[in-house]
Amino acid sequence: MALRGERPEARQADAGTRIGGVCADASPRRLRRAALSLLIACTGLALVLALAARSTRASWKPAEPHERPFWSSRRLVFEASGMTAPSWPQVPLSALARPAALSAIPASVTGGSLGAEGTVVWPARPPTSTLTPTGWLPLVVRWFPPPAWRQAAGSDDSPFAMLAVCDSDPRIQYAAARSNGIYRSSDGGTSWERWVSGMDVDVVVIHPGACNRIYASNWGQGVYSITAAGASYVATPINTGLTDLYLYGLLVQPDGSRLLAGTNASGLFRTPLSSIRWQAVNSGIQDLRIRSLYYLGPDAPTVFAGARTCHFYTSTNWGNSWSESTVDVVSPPGCGDAQVWALLKVGNVVYAGLGLERGLYRQEGAGAWVQVAGVPTQTNIYRYGLLEHNGDVFVSAYGQGVYRCPGAASSCQPLPNGGLGSSGVRGLAIARLSDEQRLLVATDDGIWWVPLE
């Protein structure tokens, strides 16, 4: 019998020596009689040793690291310090997605000690509510800082109002650069070049399924249809019947058949794209000072039109008729002449971003409007400053940076702003590229982006 702690190789070698001795001591008269039994014994021993070696390898298979990335102030990776099993237990994401810092780890995963270089070590078994099955000793949590914001090359010489990403090819993007015209990117927003000059542009929309065709509002000059022609473009005004050439919003119908425009003082206009002839569509509109246009679809096709004095309008028939709603502002008290700059609907929740430093409000179902916690109360949420991504809501708070409301919640947290060179964020966009997803922001100091986890 092997002694405690004796290596398997020693036992194997000793067994081989004993068998070898038997073979060496065999006399010629007994050799024939022993040949068959010796062959069987040696073959059996080889088989036993092979099975033992295979069993040893299987029982010491290293545990695989388990990683659950998410957008927060930390990205956590879980590792086993020893080789104890061929699989790693599942870690509930809800217990890990909330910490803003190592000191704020939820109670369900506390009990460890802070180690060197940002590690948290549990020298004993973690709580059963955290890991199942339990018994993995010890557990180390390593944290890594989030990726830093990066400024897009070629965009640092202009203030930007908004961004548009082509659905069919998200590498193609456009940016409204106000008095500096329109910028274009063909690499997912990494670099930009000025594409259209001589226009004062606040809004750009892309024709469905045609990344090389856009519509843009040129302040005081109405609407232009712009088509790429190699490295250049062809811009054509399309204003027949449009009586107000100062526009704050543009929408193209998803099937590419019609355009809807929100004007400074004359309400809403609509035209078929097959033959341009704008007509007013203001049935139900009380405040003709339209400040924003948004579309929710295709499952619940609704158009939102934001106006002044905290009013906004909704239409389910692309402008044939409108219903009025009002955001009830509580802080600071009263709406005054605040514009509804940004609107977003996620499920049965509506978010409204206001001007005149009235902040961000939220309404769930037919409930009361509530100011969203976590976002500064006295800030401006400008047009295209709200978007939804994977159920979360992202918010650009002008002068404050970018915020995230997980699960369309009633409270938000600031995103890490490391590397973001401008707090004057006006518009947001998501680019779903083949190798990563990016959050892009249009600011007073260029275009910036960060990969989303």
CA distance 415 to 214: 31
> CA-CA distance, 30 to 6, in Å (whole number)?
35
Question: What would the mean pLDDT of 356-376 be, rounded to a whole number?
Answer: 93
Length of the chain: 453
Q: What is the DSSP letter of 93?
A: G
pLDDT in the model for residue 452: 85
Burial 336-368 (b: 16+ CB within 10 A, else e): eebbbbbbbbbeebbbbbbbbebbbbbbeeeee
Kindly indicate the confidence band of residue 157, based on its pLDDT and cuts at 50, 70 and 90.
confident
152-452: which CATH topology?
A: Methylamine Dehydrogenase; Chain H (2.130.10)
Summarize the confidence of residues 118-141 as an average pLDDT: 37
First-last CA distance in the chain: 56
Kindly list the distances between the CA atom of residue 404 and the CA atoms of 25, 30, 72, 73, 394, in Å, as whole numbers in the listed order. 82, 87, 9, 11, 5
More confident residue, 410 or 79: 410
- Region of poorest pLDDT, from 21-25, 257-261, 416-420: 21-25
Q: What is the pLDDT of residue 225?
A: 98
User: How far apart are alpha carbons 112 and 194 in whole angstroms?
Assistant: 53
Q: Give me the percent of the chain exceeding a pLDDT of 70.
A: 67
Q: What is the mean pLDDT of residues 157-167?
A: 93
Q: Give me the mean pLDDT over the 328-346 stretch.
A: 87
Q: How confident is the model at residue 19 (pLDDT cuts 50, 70, 90)?
A: very low
Return the exposure string of 237-276: e unless at least 16 CB atoms fall within 10 Å of the residue's CB, then b: ebbeebebbebbbbbbbeeeeebbbbbbebbbbbbeeeeb
Average pLDDT for 315-335: 89
What's the average model confidence in pLDDT over 153-176?
Answer: 94
Following DSSP, what letter does each residue of 129-190 receive, concatenated?
TTSBS---S-EEEEEEPPPPPEEPBT-TTS---EEEE-SS-TT-EEEE-BTT-EEEESSTTS
H/E segment holding residue 67: strand 66-67
> How confident is the model over 182-237, as pLDDT tens digits?
999 999 999 999 999 999 999 999 999 999 999 999 999 999 999 998 889 999 99
Backbone phi and psi for residue 288, each to the nearest 5 degrees, phi listed first: -85, 0
Identify the band that residue 254 occupies on the pLDDT scale cut at 50, 70 and 90: very high
User: Domain residues of the chain, as ranges?
Assistant: 66-144, 152-452
- Over range 16-23, report the average pLDDT: 41
Relative to beta strand 401-405, strand 258-263 is unpaired
Q: Answer yes or no: is pLDDT of 376 > 80.
A: yes
In this structure, how many other beta carbons lie within 10 angstroms of the beta carbon of residue 56? 10
Q: Which of the listed ranges 105-114, 120-129, 186-195, 402-411 does the model predict with the highest average pLDDT?
A: 186-195
pLDDT of residue 135: 34
The dihedral through the CA atoms of 395, 396, 397, 401 has a sign that is positive
**β-sheet bridge partners, residue 224:** 216, 237
Burial 35-51 (b: 16+ CB within 10 A, else e): eeeeeeeeeeeeeeeee
What distance lies between CA 97 and its chain's CA centroid?
A: 14
More confident: 190 or 62: 190
Indicate the pLDDT class of residue 272, thresholds 50, 70 and 90.
very high
pLDDT number for residue 276: 97
With beta carbons less than 8 A apart as the criterion, state whether 125 and 136 touch.
Answer: yes
Single-letter amino acid, residue 61: K
71 pLDDT band (50/70/90 cuts)?
very low
* Separation CA 167–CA 172 (nearest Å): 9
Average pLDDT of the residues of the chain: 75
**Burial readout 414-436 (b: 16 or more C-beta within 10 A, e: otherwise):** bbbbeebebbbbbbbbbbebeee
- Section 390-402 average pLDDT: 92
- For the record, the structure tokens of 158 come out as 């202009």
Region 158-187 average pLDDT: 95
CB count, 10 Å around CB of 327?
24
**In whole angstroms, how far apart are CA 99 and each of 89, 357, 378, 395?**
21, 29, 26, 20
Q: Pick the range with the lowest mean pLDDT from 8-17, 37-46, 225-234.
A: 8-17
Q: Which residue has the tokens 């040129």?
A: 218
416 pLDDT tier (thresholds 50, 70, 90): confident
pLDDT for position 417: 78
Task: Give the pLDDT band of residue 39 (cuts 50, 70, 90).
Answer: low
Q: Distance between CA atoms of 18 and 25, rounded to whole angstroms? A: 11
Asked whether the beta carbons of 10 and 3 are under 8 A apart, the reply is: no
Average pLDDT over residues 397-410: 91
Report the pLDDT value the prediction gives residue 10, as an integer from 0 to 100: 39
Query: What is the rounded CA–CA span in Å between residue 389 and residue 395?
Result: 11
What tokens appear for 46 in the block?
A: 């080889």
Q: Report the amino acid identity of residue 2.
A: A
